[in-house]
């Protein structure tokens, strides 16, 4: 059967026909586990309770696994082989492992299937392939398919190293930079970037944002709710001081929220996380910008210097933390209440 004629109805009817070769118990378990014919999919515990006499939940899983592996050869010579072949290609492209949902979503798209397909049937067809393994249920992780050469130890090593780096940085980072750091720290240059990306995708406490940023799910910056968080998000994304109008526009562009210019300006003024560094231009305090006027900045620079400084040096240091004109700095140097000129072009704090 070509991919053009493969559809939801034919996939389910072919699958029903194939599992008829199984024992009554295996067929019963698999039918209930995938929810054939529009029926509700049952949990292992529900199936376990339906047996008389009762059997353990682990025994139900064993019956399910045994039945699934028995139909591998039948599927290989059937219309459904294209599903296994395509899934295997996805896993190969990701260095041996990939999140189950990504595989199924891509299959639906690439094979032009309907989005309401029974995904559990597709999952079972993939699982029946002897070359593909399915991860066991594990708290805090998503189910993934993988090849036998991928070990749980390797997956955990990559994840734990990434987690350690993120906790130390305490901020979102570019995911490619993080992945290169993981390879370096583990001393495994042979590790594929796509493999590490697949590892990070399956853990619930890791969030990949807008395809190139990565951080911890508990960080508000990756799921900005308040206006303040949204402003911080766009400024970190842009990585430079911004005019309050630009911040408003970027919130709309990146997050789809329309924000009034006056509203965002009031938020910037009242929150100490933002520092006014020029005419309507704001930076983040964590970027080492301190609040205050230009004269406050000059006074702070001279105080830390402990000795007179030249006009050129003062201007250089002020421009590192304020986006202002040089003439503005010259004018503030004439403030005789705070600044004292000790000789030509050299200034100090007035005692």
User: Is 117 a member of any domain?
Assistant: yes
From 200, 219, 238, the end of a domain falls on: 219
> What is the domain range of residue 161?
152-219
Task: Report residue 303 as tokens.
Answer: 């105080």
Instruction: Give pLDDT, residue 277.
Output: 78
Residue 130: name the closest of 70, 58, 83 by CA.
70
pLDDT at position 288: 66
Is 167 a member of any domain?
A: yes
Is position 133 within any domain?
yes
CB 97 within 8 A of CB 147: yes
CB-CB contact of 206 with 165 (8 Å): no
Same domain, 277 and 325: no
Phi–psi pair at 137, nearest 5 degrees: -55, 135
Domain count, the chain: 4
Q: What is the pLDDT of residues 216-240, one digit of tens each?
A: 888 867 778 889 888 988 888 777 7
**Residue 21 located in a structural domain:** yes
- What pLDDT score does 191 carry? 92
pLDDT given for residue 88 in this prediction:
97
For residues 142 and 163, membership in a common domain is answered with no
Which residues does the chain have with pLDDT short of 50?
Answer: 1-2
Looking at the fold, whether 171 and 77 belong to one and the same domain comes out as no
Among candidate residues 111, 146, 181, the one where a domain is terminated:
146
Strand-by-strand arrangement of the 213-216 sheet: 173-174, 213-216, 206-209
Structure tokens at 202: 């399956």
Task: Give the rounded percent of residues in the chain with a pLDDT score beyond 70.
Answer: 95
- 43 is a domain residue: yes
232 and 215: one domain?
no
Q: Note the maximum CA span of the chain.
A: 100
Q: Tell me: do 105 and 231 sit in the same domain.
A: no
Domain's final residue, options 130, 146, 162: 146
Position 211 scores a pLDDT of: 65
From the list 126, 78, 85, 82, the residue with the least C-alpha distance to 104 is 126
Q: Report the DSSP beta bridge partners of residue 206.
A: 216
Q: Would you state the pLDDT for residue 188? A: 92
């Amino acid at each position: 059967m070509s991919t053009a004629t493969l559809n939801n109805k034919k996939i389910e009817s072919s699958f029903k026909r194939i599992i008829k070769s199984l024992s009554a118990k295996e067929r019963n378990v698999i039918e209930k586990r995938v929810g054939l014919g529009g029926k509700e999919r049952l949990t292992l515990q529900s199936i376990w309770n339906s047996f008389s006499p009762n059997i353990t939940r682990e025994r139900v899983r064993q019956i399910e696994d045994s039945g699934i592996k028995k139909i591998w050869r039948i599927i290989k010579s059937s219309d459904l082989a294209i599903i296994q072949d395509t899934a295997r290609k996805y896993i190969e492209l990701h260095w041996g492992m990939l999140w189950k949902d990504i595989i199924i979503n891509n299959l639906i798209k690439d094979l032009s299937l309907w989005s309401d397909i029974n995904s559990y049937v597709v999952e079972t067809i993939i699982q029946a392939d002897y070359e593909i393994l399915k991860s066991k249920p594990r708290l805090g992780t998503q189910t993934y398919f993988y090849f036998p050469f991928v070990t749980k130890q390797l997956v955990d090593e990559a994840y734990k190293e990434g987690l350690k780096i993120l906790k130390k940085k305490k901020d979102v980072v570019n995911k490619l930079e993080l992945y290169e750091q993981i390879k370096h720290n583990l001393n495994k240059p042979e590790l594929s970037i796509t493999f590490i990306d697949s590892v990070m995708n399956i853990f619930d406490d890791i969030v990949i944002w807008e395809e190139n940023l990565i951080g911890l799910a508990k960080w508000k910056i990756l799921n900005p709710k308040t206006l303040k968080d949204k402003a911080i998000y766009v400024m970190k994304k842009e990585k430079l001081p911004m005019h309050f109008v630009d911040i408003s526009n970027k919130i709309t562009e990146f997050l789809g929220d329309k924000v009034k210019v006056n509203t965002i300006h009031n938020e910037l003024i009242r929150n100490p996380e933002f520092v006014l560094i020029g005419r309507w231009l704001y930076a983040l305090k964590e970027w080492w910008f301190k609040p205050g006027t230009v004269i406050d900045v000059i006074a702070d620079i001279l105080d830390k210097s402990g000795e007179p400084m030249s006009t050129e040096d003062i201007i250089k240091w002020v421009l590192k933390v304020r986006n202002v004109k040089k003439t503005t700095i010259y004018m503030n140097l004439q403030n005789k209440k705070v600044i004292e000129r000790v000789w030509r072009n050299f200034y100090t704090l007035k005692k």
